Amino acid sequence: MFLVLIGLGGGLAVGSGFVAFITVLDIIPRLTQLTNAHRHIRGFEWALVSGVLVFTLIDFFHWGVELPVLVTAIYGLFAGIFVGTLAAGLTEVLNVFPIVAKRLHMDGNLLFLLMAVVFGKVTGSLLQWLLHL
Protein backbone atom coordinates (compact mmCIF):
# COMPACT_ATOMS: atom_id res chain seq x y z
CA MET A 1 0.00 0.00 0.00
CA PHE A 2 2.91 2.33 0.82
CA LEU A 3 4.47 1.72 -2.63
CA VAL A 4 1.14 2.48 -4.31
CA LEU A 5 0.94 5.74 -2.38
CA ILE A 6 4.52 6.66 -3.35
CA GLY A 7 3.82 5.80 -7.00
CA LEU A 8 0.64 7.86 -7.11
CA GLY A 9 2.35 10.78 -5.39
CA GLY A 10 5.26 10.66 -7.83
CA GLY A 11 2.91 10.42 -10.80
CA LEU A 12 0.87 13.35 -9.59
CA ALA A 13 4.02 15.41 -9.04
CA VAL A 14 5.42 14.67 -12.48
CA GLY A 15 2.05 15.13 -14.19
CA SER A 16 1.40 18.40 -12.42
CA GLY A 17 4.86 19.64 -13.30
CA PHE A 18 4.36 18.69 -16.93
CA VAL A 19 1.00 20.43 -17.14
CA ALA A 20 2.38 23.52 -15.39
CA PHE A 21 5.36 23.51 -17.75
CA ILE A 22 3.19 23.29 -20.86
CA THR A 23 0.56 25.75 -19.60
CA VAL A 24 2.61 28.44 -17.89
CA LEU A 25 5.25 28.62 -20.58
CA ASP A 26 2.64 28.60 -23.39
CA ILE A 27 4.49 25.84 -25.20
CA ILE A 28 1.65 24.80 -27.54
CA PRO A 29 0.75 28.33 -28.71
CA ARG A 30 4.45 29.08 -29.16
CA LEU A 31 4.95 25.90 -31.19
CA THR A 32 2.04 26.78 -33.46
CA GLN A 33 3.50 30.24 -33.93
CA LEU A 34 6.96 28.88 -34.77
CA THR A 35 5.59 26.28 -37.19
CA ASN A 36 3.00 28.68 -38.65
CA ALA A 37 0.23 26.16 -37.95
CA HIS A 38 -2.30 28.19 -35.97
CA ARG A 39 -5.24 26.34 -37.48
CA HIS A 40 -3.86 23.04 -36.13
CA ILE A 41 -3.60 24.07 -32.47
CA ARG A 42 -6.22 21.51 -31.38
CA GLY A 43 -4.26 18.84 -33.21
CA PHE A 44 -1.10 19.81 -31.31
CA GLU A 45 -3.00 19.63 -28.01
CA TRP A 46 -4.57 16.25 -28.77
CA ALA A 47 -1.27 14.86 -30.03
CA LEU A 48 0.42 15.91 -26.80
CA VAL A 49 -2.29 14.46 -24.55
CA SER A 50 -2.56 11.26 -26.60
CA GLY A 51 1.19 10.78 -26.62
CA VAL A 52 1.42 11.21 -22.86
CA LEU A 53 -1.41 8.74 -22.25
CA VAL A 54 -0.16 6.10 -24.70
CA PHE A 55 3.44 6.20 -23.55
CA THR A 56 2.36 6.17 -19.90
CA LEU A 57 0.44 2.96 -20.59
CA ILE A 58 3.39 1.52 -22.51
CA ASP A 59 5.72 2.30 -19.63
CA PHE A 60 3.30 1.15 -16.94
CA PHE A 61 2.50 -2.22 -18.54
CA HIS A 62 6.02 -2.79 -19.97
CA TRP A 63 4.70 -3.29 -23.47
CA GLY A 64 7.29 -3.85 -26.15
CA VAL A 65 7.28 -4.53 -29.84
CA GLU A 66 9.91 -5.59 -32.36
CA LEU A 67 9.81 -3.21 -35.31
CA PRO A 68 11.77 -3.16 -38.55
CA VAL A 69 14.68 -0.72 -38.73
CA LEU A 70 12.83 1.52 -41.20
CA VAL A 71 9.85 1.94 -38.86
CA THR A 72 12.19 2.62 -35.93
CA ALA A 73 14.03 5.21 -38.02
CA ILE A 74 10.78 6.97 -38.96
CA TYR A 75 9.71 6.99 -35.31
CA GLY A 76 13.12 8.39 -34.34
CA LEU A 77 12.76 11.11 -36.97
CA PHE A 78 9.38 12.21 -35.64
CA ALA A 79 10.60 12.03 -32.03
CA GLY A 80 13.57 14.20 -32.99
CA ILE A 81 11.30 16.70 -34.73
CA PHE A 82 9.14 16.88 -31.60
CA VAL A 83 12.12 17.43 -29.31
CA GLY A 84 13.57 20.00 -31.71
CA THR A 85 10.36 22.02 -31.92
CA LEU A 86 9.93 21.79 -28.17
CA ALA A 87 13.48 23.08 -27.72
CA ALA A 88 12.75 25.89 -30.19
CA GLY A 89 9.69 26.85 -28.14
CA LEU A 90 11.75 26.75 -24.97
CA THR A 91 14.37 29.10 -26.33
CA GLU A 92 11.65 31.70 -26.59
CA VAL A 93 10.92 31.45 -22.88
CA LEU A 94 14.43 30.78 -21.64
CA ASN A 95 14.43 34.05 -19.74
CA VAL A 96 12.91 31.98 -16.92
CA PHE A 97 16.39 31.19 -15.58
CA PRO A 98 17.43 34.81 -14.95
CA ILE A 99 14.12 35.42 -13.18
CA VAL A 100 14.57 32.33 -10.98
CA ALA A 101 18.18 33.30 -10.25
CA LYS A 102 17.06 36.77 -9.22
CA ARG A 103 14.37 35.42 -6.90
CA LEU A 104 16.82 32.95 -5.34
CA HIS A 105 19.34 35.78 -4.89
CA MET A 106 21.78 34.02 -7.21
CA ASP A 107 22.18 36.89 -9.69
CA GLY A 108 25.94 36.49 -9.99
CA ASN A 109 25.77 32.69 -9.94
CA LEU A 110 23.52 31.96 -12.90
CA LEU A 111 26.11 29.54 -14.25
CA PHE A 112 25.82 27.43 -11.08
CA LEU A 113 22.03 27.31 -11.42
CA LEU A 114 22.25 26.20 -15.06
CA MET A 115 24.92 23.62 -14.26
CA ALA A 116 22.78 22.22 -11.43
CA VAL A 117 19.95 21.73 -13.91
CA VAL A 118 22.28 20.13 -16.47
CA PHE A 119 23.97 17.80 -13.97
CA GLY A 120 20.60 16.83 -12.49
CA LYS A 121 19.28 15.91 -15.92
CA VAL A 122 22.42 13.98 -16.87
CA THR A 123 22.48 12.12 -13.55
CA GLY A 124 18.81 11.20 -13.82
CA SER A 125 19.23 10.01 -17.41
CA LEU A 126 22.28 7.91 -16.55
CA LEU A 127 20.50 6.33 -13.60
CA GLN A 128 17.53 5.45 -15.78
CA TRP A 129 19.60 4.06 -18.67
CA LEU A 130 22.31 2.26 -16.75
CA LEU A 131 20.32 0.94 -13.80
CA HIS A 132 17.01 0.54 -15.67
CA LEU A 133 15.12 2.55 -13.05
**Structure confidence at residue 71 (pLDDT):** 93
Dist. CA 133–CA 128, nearest whole Å: 5
**Structure confidence at residue 87 (pLDDT):** 67
Dist. CA 94–CA 86, nearest whole Å: 12
User: pLDDT digits over 41-84, tens only?
Assistant: 888 888 888 888 888 888 889 888 899 999 988 988 888 887 77
SS3 content of the chain, % helix, strand, coil (to 5): 85, 0, 15
The neighbour count for residue 41, using CB atoms within 10 Å, is 14
User: pLDDT digits over 28-42, tens only?
Assistant: 787 788 788 889 888
Among 4-13, 45-54, 86-95, which is the least confidently predicted range? Answer: 86-95
* Confidence band of 27 (pLDDT split at 50, 70, 90): confident
**Structure confidence at residue 103 (pLDDT):** 81
Cα-to-chain-centroid distance, residue 4: 24
